[in-house]
Amino acid sequence: MPPSCTHLDSIKVRELPDEIAGCEDCLATGGTWLHLRMCQTCGHIGCCDSSPNRHASKHAAEHDHPIARSAEPGENWSWCYVDEVAFVLRG
């Protein structure tokens, strides 16, 4: 476990859903995105910080949900928006 992240108990959702339509907020507003992140507290799908609207980090700040994981195929790393640290969950 990463010693620099103190928010691991906020993780409620570990696995990606079977189907991901895209960034929920971009789909609602007609925006576009580059990469997708899934909030590990509530499962919200948002777009990464390289996307124009950065919905994943906005979601993390607005809802106090600090950790999101990559929702890209083959990627399993998580990111804490508070500690700004990346890690891979095991077990």
Query: Residues interacting with Zn ion, by CB under 5 A?
Result: 5, 7, 23, 25-26, 33, 39, 41-42, 44, 47, 53, 55, 63, 65, 80, 82-83
Q: Residues near 45 by Cβ (< 8 Å), separated by ≥ 6?
A: 17, 20, 21, 22, 23, 24, 36, 37, 38, 39, 71
In the complex, least distance from residue 20 CB atom to Zn ion, rounded to whole angstroms: 12
For the bound state, the minimum distance from the C-beta of residue 82 to Zn ion, rounded and expressed in Å, comes to: 5
Helix segments in the chain, DSSP class H? 24-29, 55-63
Q: What's the token pair of residue 1?
A: 């476990």
For Zn ion, the closer of residues 3 and 73 by Cβ is 3
Q: How far is the CB of 76 from Zn ion (least distance, A)?
A: 17
